[in-house]
Amino acid sequence: MVSQSELVKEARENGMDLLPLDKDTYELFFGPQHMATENFSIILKMDGHRVVKAIANPGFLHRGFEKLAELRPWHTNIALLLRICVPEPDVPEAIYSMAVDEIIGWELPERAQWIRTTVLEMARVSAYLFWIMGLSFKLGVYTAGQWAAAYRERLMALFEQLTGARVYHIYTIPGGVRRDIPNDAWLRRLRDTVEYIKGKLPDFDHLVFENYITFRRMEGIGVMDKKFALAEGVTGPNIRATGVPYDVRRADPYLLYPELDFEIPVLEDGDALARALVRRYELEQDLYILEQLLEMGPPDGPYKVQDPKLKNLPRFKVPAGDAFAHVESTKGDFGAYVVSDGRNKPYRVQIRGPSIAHGIRVLEQLLVGARIADVPVILMSLDNCPPDIDR
Amino acid sequence: MVDWRLFEPLFDFARRKSLWIVAFCTGCGGIEMPPLMTSRYDLERFGMMPNPAPRMADLFLITGYVTPKTLKRIIITYEMQPDPKYVMAHGSCPLNGGIYWDAYNAIKHLDRYLPVDVIIAGCMPRPEAVMDGINKIMEMIENGTADGWKRYKENYEYYKKNQDELFGEGWREREARRWIPWLMNRKKEE
Amino acid sequence: MVVVVETALKAVLILLYATFVGFMFMGIIRIVTARIHRRVGPPIYQPILDTIKLLSKKSNITHGLIYDFGIIYALGATILALMFIPLGSIGILRMYGDLILITFLLEIPMLGIMFAAMSSGNPWAGLGSQRALLTLLAIQVPLGFAIVALAESYGTFSTYQIVMAQQSMGWSIIHLPLLLAAVAYDLVLQAMFGKEPFDIMIAPGEISLGPMVEFGGKHMGILQIQHAIALFAETLFFSNIFLGGAVITSFASPVLNTLASLGVLLIKQIAVLMIAIFMGAIFPRFTIDQAARFYWKWPTIIAATGAILAAL
Amino acid sequence: MADEQEKGGVSMREQAIIDGILTEAPYAEGKVRRERRVEFKVPADRIRDFLKLLREKGFELMLQITVVDWPKDGEYELVYQMWSIEHRTHAMVRTRIPRELDKARMPTVRDIYPVAETYERDAHDFFGVYFEGNEKMEMPWILDDTEQGLFPYRKDFDMLAYVKKKYMILDRFDENKDNYVI
């Protein structure tokens, strides 16, 4: 049994200048052991309930991917790089594969493009459901969160049937995808799942997005305007909530998106509520895109490039060159810059996660003056994803 | 004074049936916690629930790889828990580095720095595997072999030596004081 | 002498019954919430297991005398409040059971918990204690008006006489002024139970359990027992003053009468509990200032209208 | 690469953008990689002027500052990844600086693109490029203090040996093997 006075004495002997820092402020470690931050730490200088100063402290998930990728063959890196964005692991696969395809100059067969687009959209839907779960847990309406996680499980099952894995499906490889769609029953199940989730959206509206208390909680919290957002490199739904209609799927079309019809929801007032509602509308749009893809149906043909280089993957070489590819993830503009020097390993892989812009400077500036109760709401409304900051 | 040893079987039953988890997702495996807690695989059936406060938690889930920066927090959080406490590690990364076997920033052998009771294989372990590991740790509590907290007390010098070799001496004070200059804007003077 | 022994026996029996039923209530809360979440949920005796586990843990740090005293203070206050509330036809101090006294005793456990939390020196606990204080402050106003409405319409402050009066003139909530008072009081109960949208003092996602963050092991176990008794006492108080209590004299033997009245009370208490659970399942959490503004607005207006109507 | 240049040849829109910029920046050279991808080469000392110009020309978003280590040239290559919303074009601004740690210095651009502060901290932490004028250079970033000053993303950082020393792993890996598959 150690009494507190002894602890204080010991601390003073060790020279720890104890808090409060100033006359009337104190230091608060928000995370990493906290329910609202998944292994990401914010050091807050608090004055009562108000945040005076915030410092984001990333790096708890750093594994040095960009170094490891230089030591592994091209295709092995797929199994590595997808761990950069845990909620939607298909996005790093896709950007890396697109960059490699561009360096080699491969034209993907249509079936591969269809499968990639479908997988990306499924990943978006599941990531948005996961985000709804997080937001409602932070807001305290646990019912919606539980339901969202349960609906996400249906997509997980579909992923498992398609790729063989629940979360880390190492599926999108340079030159197509790893294996073909199992059968038509999978397509039917996907259609049923899309219909099911579409039918469940009103529940979320009643519980979260149209709730009086949610409006009171999120209105006018963490406001950023267009100029600020552009200067800070904000992308994705966060910048669309400030009135900038920037969506990579439209601005820099890839895969099948030029042929698909969908809207880009844009709201003007860039507060937490606007960001949340933009995500809510985008979930609807993604379900609509999936419906269109299912209407289109997978075109016939090979599901990956017919190339003898793909026979011996460890010796798979890529001509010298570099390429930048980016896709629209639920977090924002997710880009990869790949440099090759003609060997069987990449020379340099740089992954650009959107959260490196959202999670550091934007967060630090939005948190100043917020109440402690708003900190988790602002975090969730920015949809900050620590793994792609740390990489 | 009552001899509490008489009640040990009851206590063990209670400890087995109500394992509270520290809400600390240290890696990829954190993505499988929500499915485990929610209605697909409902862990609350076994009386488990995530707990924001380490003071009242029993089970520490090391979900995935551990970086040194996280390991410092893990150790501090682990020492905050009251005895008896149990540690369960997800996946092959805490066991031997797994896919990060040559990464400079991922712990290779977690059991050098903390006593681990159960390690689940796989990358990443499916929820069924996690539930299997939880059943295993329940059995170990029942037959009294989940004694990591005792081992930590007995071999504290060994663990402390490894921790200090990894982080350098006096890392706790350094961690506690690191951000104060930046919060006080005292960087200029120092 | 015999009276003393009999009273002590009664007190112990009431305490045991209240604790057991309170734990059952906690289990019911968890199960019903799980069913709303479309889960299976824990067994109903789960809170008892949690408490045994917590009591069996070894606390490896203490924070001084107040840290231990606050917990005991909270538990004692709750038990005292329980003794004042008439439980059917039995009750130790029910004759002296004053509305204001009981309301006060039902609130001061929070003060004890706050003593302990503050003395732990944890910033989260400090934040949570500030929130708890503000919540207490916020619920005073509607609570006071509800009490005034009751006292006005019945002309007495004694809970027991209110229960007796309800036997003749029907439940309180069938009269409009008291119905308004009951609505206000139920909104206040939501904060007393610590359920959404007023679980502001223990907001797991925001301040990680607030005052409870430092309590581990035995302290938390005692707090669980206190929570169970408090659940029982609050629901009992509500069903006594608004839902007509239970005084059953239809049977010949007093034992049967007592059991029947306990059963009736149990049904009413579970009804009160269900309302709280359903409200908590569908609402997000207010921030503390919004909660205070809410309490000082709608429940106050409702309760004040009830009081005025009762006074007319 | 060949077909990309063909594609670049037919895309007049990008050529117009490049001409519009190069008329005001004669020190830079630019070329079209392909549709919606352009590329500039800028001397390191003029980078601030050039990025100011790019910002006026409508490249509002800075996506990343990528450092590529070329030991055989003894140079770092800094690639500023820019995106223009109105032109819908991605621009790479390449510049080269010596890779010796004392000479690897760049002027900061955080007053032009505030978000660049974060990217510069990233580059400084992993490569040791020092950006003058960015007072958050010494602020702790991703790396822990055991790796501070090692700059692990440099090509001459022997990761395997460092890992064995740091984590006390038995010597069961063969460094000489050029191409190991896990």
User: For B69-79, what is each residue's pLDDT tens digit?
Assistant: 888 889 988 88
C60: chain A residues, CB-CB within 8 Å:
1-2
Q: For residue D79, give the chain A residue with the closest CA.
A: A337
Most A CBs within 10 Å, among C206, C219, C279, to test the A interface: C206
User: For D151-162, what is each residue's pLDDT tens digit?
Assistant: 888 888 888 888
pLDDT beneath 70: ranges in chain A? 1-23
User: For D77-99, what is each residue's pLDDT tens digit?
Assistant: 889 988 988 888 888 999 998 88
A230·D60 Cβ contact <8 A:
yes
Chains C and D touch (3+ CB pairs under 8 A): no
- Reading the block at residue A41, the tokens are 């730490």
Instruction: Kindly state whether residues A29 and A109 are assigned to the same domain.
Output: no
How far is it, in rounded angstroms, from Cα C116 to Cα C73? 10
Instruction: Kindly state whether residues A156 and A109 are assigned to the same domain.
Output: yes
How far is it, in rounded angstroms, from Cα A239 to Cα A357? 11
- pLDDT (0 to 100) of residue A196: 92
A49 vs chain D: nearest CA distance in angstroms?
26
- pLDDT (0 to 100) of residue B190: 40
Would you say A103 and A323 are in contact if contact means Cβ atoms under 8 Å apart? yes
What is the pLDDT averaged over residues D38-64? 88
The beta-carbon neighbor of D181 closest among A62, A314, A360 is A314
Most A CBs within 10 Å, among C287, C289, C293, to test the A interface: C287
Instruction: Kindly state whether residues A80 and A131 are assigned to the same domain.
Output: yes
- The CA–CA distances, whole Å, from A24 to A46, A49, A157, C117, C122 equal 9, 12, 53, 20, 16
Q: Other C-beta atoms within 10 Å of A254: how many?
A: 19
Give ∠ CA B166-B171-B176 in degrees, rounded to 5. Answer: 145
Q: For residue C215, give the chain B residue with the closest CA.
A: B55
Instruction: Kindly state whether residues A166 and A211 are assigned to the same domain.
Output: yes
Q: Other C-beta atoms within 10 Å of D148: how many?
A: 12
Would you say A373 and D87 are in contact if contact means Cβ atoms under 8 Å apart? no
User: For A9-27, what is each residue's pLDDT tens digit?
Assistant: 665 565 555 444 556 778 8
- pLDDT (0 to 100) of residue C28: 92
CATH architecture of D2-139: 2-Layer Sandwich (3.30)
B interface residues, C as partner, C-beta within 8 Å:
4, 7, 10-11, 13-15, 17-18, 20, 23, 38-39, 42, 44-47, 51-53, 55-56, 58, 81-84
More confident residue, D175 or C208: C208
List all residues 6 or more positions away from A173 whose beta carbon is below 8 Å from its beta carbon.
A75, A78, A93, A97, A304
- pLDDT (0 to 100) of residue A4: 56
A339·D68 Cβ contact <8 A:
yes
Structural domains in chain B, CATH included, are: 4-184 (3.40.50.12280)
B180: chain A residues, CB-CB within 8 Å:
17, 21, 27
C287·A5 Cβ contact <8 A:
no
List all residues 6 or more positions away from A308 whose beta carbon is below 8 Å from its beta carbon.
none
Starting at the earlier edge strand, list the strands of the sheet with D61-70.
D29-34, D37-41, D89-98, D75-84, D61-70
For the whole model, what pTM was predicted? Answer: 0.90
- Give the domain extent around A172: 66-390
List all residues 6 or more positions away from C158 whose beta carbon is below 8 Å from its beta carbon.
C95, C97, C98, C99
Q: Other C-beta atoms within 10 Å of B133: how many?
A: 20
- pLDDT (0 to 100) of residue D170: 61
Q: For residue A206, give the chain C residue with the closest CA.
A: C282
- The CA–CA distances, whole Å, from C144 to C141, C148, C192 equal 5, 6, 15
How high does pLDDT run on average in chain A?
86
Would you say A120 and A290 are in contact if contact means Cβ atoms under 8 Å apart? no
Q: Look up the CATH number of the domain holding residue A306.
A: 1.10.645.10
The beta-carbon neighbor of B30 closest among A38, A153, A168 is A38
Using the Cβ of A199 and the Cβ atoms of chain D, whether some distance falls under 8 Å is answered with: no
C38: chain B residues, CB-CB within 8 Å:
39
Task: Parse chain D into domains and list their residue ranges.
Answer: 2-139
C116 vs chain A: nearest CA distance in angstroms?
13
- DSSP single-letter state for residue C87: B
HEC-encoded secondary structure of A283-352: HHHHHHHHHHHHHHCCCCCCCECCCHHHHCHHHCCCCCEEEEEEEECCCCEEEEEEEECCCCCCCEEEEE
Instruction: Kindly state whether residues A75 and A22 are assigned to the same domain.
Output: no
Instruction: Kindly state whether residues A87 and A10 are assigned to the same domain.
Output: no
- pLDDT (0 to 100) of residue B187: 47
Instruction: Kindly state whether residues A275 and A362 are assigned to the same domain.
Output: yes
Band (pLDDT 50/70/90 cuts) for residue D177 is low
- pLDDT (0 to 100) of residue A128: 92
List all residues 6 or more positions away from C234 whose beta carbon is below 8 Å from its beta carbon.
C106, C189, C192, C193
Using the Cβ of C204 and the Cβ atoms of chain A, whether some distance falls under 8 Å is answered with: yes
Domain boundary among A57, A80, A101: A57
Residue with tokens 């996506």: D63
- pLDDT (0 to 100) of residue A125: 92
Instruction: Kindly state whether residues A175 and A222 are assigned to the same domain.
Output: yes
Instruction: Give the distance, in angstroms, between the CA of residue C75 and the centroid of all CA atoms in the same chain.
Output: 12
Residue with tokens 């590690």: B89
**Among A13, D167, D157, A41, which Cα is nearest to B167's?**
D167
B104·A67 Cβ contact <8 A:
yes
A28-37, B84-93, B94-103, C25-34: which has the highest mean pLDDT? C25-34
The beta-carbon neighbor of D163 closest among B102, B165, B167 is B102
Would you say A213 and C282 are in contact if contact means Cβ atoms under 8 Å apart? no
How far is it, in rounded angstroms, from Cα B138 to Cα D182? 35
Q: What is the pLDDT tens value at each position of chain C, 312 positions in all?
A: 778 888 888 888 888 989 999 999 999 999 999 999 888 889 999 999 999 988 888 876 777 778 888 888 889 988 888 888 887 767 677 666 678 888 888 888 888 888 888 888 788 888 888 888 888 888 888 988 888 888 888 888 888 888 888 888 878 778 888 888 888 888 888 888 888 788 888 877 778 777 888 887 888 888 899 999 999 988 988 888 888 777 777 777 878 888 888 888 899 899 999 999 998 888 888 888 888 888 888 889 988 888 888 877
- pLDDT (0 to 100) of residue C229: 92
Most D CBs within 10 Å, among A324, A331, A361, A366, to test the D interface: A324
Domains held by chain A: number: 2
Q: ipTM of the predicted structure?
A: 0.89
One-letter amino acid identity for A152?
R
B102·D159 Cβ contact <8 A:
yes
Cis peptide preceding D152, ω within 30 of 0: no
B neighbours by CB contacts (3+ pairs under 8 Å): A, C, D
Using the Cβ of C57 and the Cβ atoms of chain B, whether some distance falls under 8 Å is answered with: yes
Would you say B179 and A43 are in contact if contact means Cβ atoms under 8 Å apart? yes
List all residues 6 or more positions away from D23 whose beta carbon is below 8 Å from its beta carbon.
none
Alpha helices in chain C (DSSP H): 2-36, 46-55, 65-84, 99-120, 123-154, 159-169, 176-193, 204-207, 218-241, 254-282, 288-311
Would you say B70 and B105 are in contact if contact means Cβ atoms under 8 Å apart? no
Using the Cβ of A251 and the Cβ atoms of chain D, whether some distance falls under 8 Å is answered with: yes
**pLDDT greater than 60 at residue B42:** yes
B23: chain A residues, CB-CB within 8 Å:
33-35
Band (pLDDT 50/70/90 cuts) for residue D1 is very low
HEC-encoded secondary structure of D141-152: CCCCCCCCCCCC
Percent of residues, chain A, with pLDDT higher than 70? 94
**pLDDT greater than 50 at residue D3:** no
How far is it, in rounded angstroms, from Cα D157 to Cα D155? 6
Instruction: Kindly state whether residues A43 and A175 are assigned to the same domain.
Output: no
Query: What pairs with residue A338 in β-bridges?
Result: A323, A349
